[in-house]
Amino acid sequence: MKTRSNLLILAIVMCCMASTLLAQPMGGPPPGMGGPGEGREKMRQRIEDIRKMKLIDVLNLQGEQVEKFFGTYNPLQKKVMESKDAVNSIARDLWRASEGSASEAELKSSTEKLDKALRDFEAAINARHDGAKKVLTTAQYARYLAFEALFVDQLTKMIIQQMRGGKNKGPRLDDPMD
């Protein structure tokens, strides 16, 4: 258990670097990185790795169940991330258009595109949940849903706590009541 705590703390420290990496403009590479968005992509992968590690722990997955769960979860999670990328791209375009001199028709068209992308994103999330439900017990599925619902908030709280210099005082990913 102590090893998991140390591993989680290490992962949190890596996530703290996210604030610097994610604050970089989209067009240029972060300092010391090779290309546009490379640092952001590495950070995103680290966060996904944390999510998967915590899912194994929270759901108490073992042996073949790990393979079965992630065999279903990974492709569905990839679709969720692709849908989220599409939402973000369209939202940025819409924001720029709304600040510029876009016509009413252009704004309406862009708004409809974003609305559709948001529905597609929601459908991808629901498909991921449906896939997970098929391979988990009722109790595991309940913990999975609660974990997914709380993961981003808990991760954000942990990063903020670490940025403020707190040590082990912040919320833990495995304790949603913090």
How far is residue 143's CA from residue 33's CA, in Å, rounded to a whole number?
37
Q: Is 101 strand, coil or helix?
A: coil
Pick the CATH number of 41-154 from 1.10.3470, 1.10.357, 1.20.120, 1.25.40: 1.20.120
- The per-residue pLDDT for 28 is 41
Sketch the domain layout of the chain as residue ranges. 41-154
- How confident is the prediction along the chain (178 residues), in pLDDT tens digits per residue? 445 444 444 444 444 444 333 443 444 433 443 445 678 888 889 899 999 999 999 999 999 999 999 999 999 999 999 999 999 999 999 999 999 889 999 999 999 999 999 999 999 999 999 999 999 999 999 999 999 999 989 888 888 888 888 665 544 555 554 5
- The per-residue pLDDT for 157 is 87
Cα dist from 103 to 46, 53, 111, 112, whole Å: 41, 47, 12, 14
How far is residue 172's CA from residue 178's CA, in Å, rounded to a whole number?
7
Q: Which of 78, 63, 68 lies closest to 133, judged by CA?
A: 68
Helix (H) or strand (E) holding 2: helix 2-16
Q: Around Cβ 22, how many Cβ atoms within 10 Å?
A: 12
Task: Confirm whether pTM is higher than 0.85.
Answer: no
